[in-house]
């Protein structure tokens, strides 16, 4: 029994050792075959090159290269802009009204007339005020005469102080009434508060007007500016003095200017804040409410790596571009993972993955695959 058990154990040990020896031999044989295949591949490539040099037709059949165009990257300025709609405004664009009620007896201007500051535009009937002024002047003359006589007596210590103060008070009261009436008379003449252009005459001769009722609109082109609403998303992106590009579609004019003012209060209705853009004095053909397109720079990098947006492709792992590298003396396509930044005007900033001096495939990138040989046309 003991002999039988010993024999069985010996057979198992021999079988185990034989199995391990067989695996090792197979591994050694696999490694040998791989080396032989690599050697054969080298021999095949060498033969293909030799045959291609002797047989152009064969060379054409063997050429699997992709035709591409390339671009060598260099650091360059990159700007990102947003475009908003704006309109021309004027700080001197007003609807004028009268301060006193009355009937219009004279309209001296028409729409489109150029007027000077202080020029009378509309006159109201003020005959009753003139009559009051005439009466006050007559009364004031008498009161002044009485005051002068009483003052002479008072200076000679003749008469009482009460008599002197009464005639003095009467004279001064009439002077104040006359001044008030003259002020009232001046309000019957509606004058231009600044030089400008009459935009519209609203009232007519014979109409009765009241305080606050618009009678005429006046605009000046001396203090024109642009205003625009910008999304609150960009509330921290701009400041006074930032450069601005303006385009006026109606006149085809372009203008480089700056932000002159901005609001930090958000409009609750549309979630925007307002900016103002300075206009030069040369833009004298502009009109209030004229439409404008405004380009604002909200990001810039003076030393950026920038590529055409179309060369940035995407797969399940993320964005990539193809570069061209030399491999064993042959130019091949190399798939490089990149991190894109901002995109503007079909250009994309590359934050990481590429550097100055890299050569990317700018045309033919759709046909490229990683490792394929390429022929650069330019």
- Specify burial of residue 19 (Cβ count, 10 A radius: 0-12, 13-18, 19+): exposed
Q: Are strands 102-107 and 76-90 parallel, antiparallel or unpaired?
A: unpaired
Q: For residue 4, report the phi and psi dihedrals to the nearest 5 degrees.
A: -65, -45
**Pairwise CA distance, residues 81 & 326, whole Å:** 38
Q: Which residue has the tokens 């591949």?
A: 41
- 231 and 242 assigned to the same domain: yes
Q: What angle do CA 368, 369, 375 make, to 5 degrees?
A: 45
Coil, helix or strand at residue 269:
coil
Please tell me whether residues 158 and 224 are part of one structural domain.
no
* 223 and 200 within one domain: no
Same domain, 247 and 329: no
Contact 279, 248 (CB under 8 A): no
The span from the CA of 39 to the CA of 5, in Å, is: 52
Polymer length in residues for the chain: 378
Residue where a domain terminates, one of 301, 326, 349: 301
Name residues whose C-beta falls within 8 Å of residue 96's C-beta, 6 or more positions apart in sequence: 121, 190, 193, 214, 215, 216, 217, 218
- SS3 for 229-248 is EEEHHHCCCCCCCCEEEEEE
Q: How many domains does the chain have?
A: 4
Chosen domain end from 215, 235, 270:
215
Q: Say what the pTM is.
A: 0.59
CATH of the domain at 250: 2.40.30.170
- Written as six digits, the tokens of 245 are 């590009």
Asked if 324 and 263 sit in the same domain, the reply is no
CATH of the domain at 348: 2.40.420.20
**Are 206 and 102 found together in one domain?**
yes
* Bridge partner residues of 219 (DSSP): 93, 197
Adjacent-strand bridge partners of 224: 90
Helices (H), the chain: 2-54, 56-62, 127-155, 161-186
Q: How large is the angle between the packed helices 161-186 and 127-155, nearest 10 degrees?
A: 160
Q: Tell me if 227 sits within 8 A of 279, measured CB to CB.
A: no
Distance CA 342, CA 61 (A): 44
Query: Could you list the residue range(s) of the whole structural domain that residue 351 is in?
Result: 64-77+302-376
Are both 145 and 254 inside the same structural domain? no
Q: Verify that 250 and 292 share a domain, yes or no.
A: yes
- CATH assignment at residue 208: 2.40.50.100
pLDDT at 60: 54
- CA–CA dist 225, 243 (Å, integer): 15
Which residue, 215, 233, 258, sits at the end of a domain? 215
Distance CA 37, CA 30 (A): 10
Q: Are residues 103 and 124 in the same domain?
A: yes
Close Cβ partners of 226 (under 8 Å, ≥ 6 residues apart)? 86, 87, 88, 89, 246, 276, 277, 279, 292, 294
In a shared domain, residues 238 and 264: yes
Give the chain's radius of gyration (CA, Å): 47
Specify the pLDDT at position 338: 96
Cβ pair 78, 348 in contact under 8 A: no
Together in a domain, 87 and 232: yes
110, 176: one domain: yes
Q: What is the Cα–Cα distance from 322 to 206, expressed in whole angstroms?
A: 82
Tens-binned pLDDT, residue by residue, of the chain (378 aa): 444 544 545 554 445 555 567 888 888 888 888 888 877 766 776 776 677 566 655 555 555 678 999 999 999 999 999 999 999 988 888 899 998 899 999 999 999 899 999 999 999 998 988 999 899 999 999 989 988 888 888 888 887 888 888 889 998 999 999 999 898 888 899 999 999 899 899 999 999 999 989 999 998 877 888 999 999 999 889 999 999 999 989 888 888 899 999 998 899 999 999 999 988 765 667 788 889 999 999 999 999 999 999 999 999 999 999 999 998 888 999 999 999 999 999 999 999 999 999 999 999 999 899 988 898 987
């Amino acid at each position: 029994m003991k002999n039988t058990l010993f024999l069985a154990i010996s057979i198992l040990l021999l079988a185990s050792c034989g199995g391990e020896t067989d695996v090792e031999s197979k591994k050694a044989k696999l490694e040998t075959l791989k080396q032989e295949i690599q050697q054969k591949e080298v021999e095949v490539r060498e033969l293909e090159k030799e045959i291609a040099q002797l047989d152009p037709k064969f060379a054409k059949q063997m050429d699997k290269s992709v035709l591409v165009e390339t671009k060598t990257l260099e650091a360059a300025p990159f700007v990102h802009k947003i475009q908003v709609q704006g309109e021309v405004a004027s700080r001197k664009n007003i609807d004028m009204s009268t301060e006193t009620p009355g009937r219009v007896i004279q309209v001296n201007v028409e729409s489109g007339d150029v007027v000077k500051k202080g020029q009378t535009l509309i006159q109201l009937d003020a005959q009753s005020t003139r009559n009051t002024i005439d009466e006050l002047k007559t009364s004031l003359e008498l009161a002044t005469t009485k005051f002068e006589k009483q003052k002479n007596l008072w200076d000679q210590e003749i008469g009482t102080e009460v008599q002197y103060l009464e005639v003095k008070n009467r004279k001064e009261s009439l002077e104040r009434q006359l001044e008030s009436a003259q002020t009232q008379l001046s309000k019957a003449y509606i004058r231009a508060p600044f030089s400008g252009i009459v935009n519209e005459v609203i009232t007519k001769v014979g109409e009765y007007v009241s305080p606050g009722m618009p009678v005429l609109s006046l605009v000046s082109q001396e203090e024109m500016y642009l205003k625009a609403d910008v999304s609150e998303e960009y509330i921290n992106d701009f400041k006074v003095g930032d450069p601005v590009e303006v385009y006026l579609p109606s006149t085809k004019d372009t203008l480089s200017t700056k932000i002159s003012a901005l609001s930090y209060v958000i409009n609750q209705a549309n979630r925007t804040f307002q900016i103002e853009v300075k206009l030069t004095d040369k833009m004298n053909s502009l009109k209030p409410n004229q439409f404008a397109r405004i380009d604002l720079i909200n990001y810039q990098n003076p030393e950026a790596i920038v590529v055409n947006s179309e060369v940035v492709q995407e797969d399940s792992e993320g964005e990539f571009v193809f570069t061209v590298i030399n491999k064993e003396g042959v130019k091949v396509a190399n798939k490089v993972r990149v991190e894109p930044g901002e995109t503007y005007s079909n250009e994309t900033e590359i934050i990481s993955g590429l550097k100055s001096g890299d050569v990317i495939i700018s045309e033919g990138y759709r046909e490229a695959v990683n490792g394929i040989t390429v022929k650069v046309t330019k």
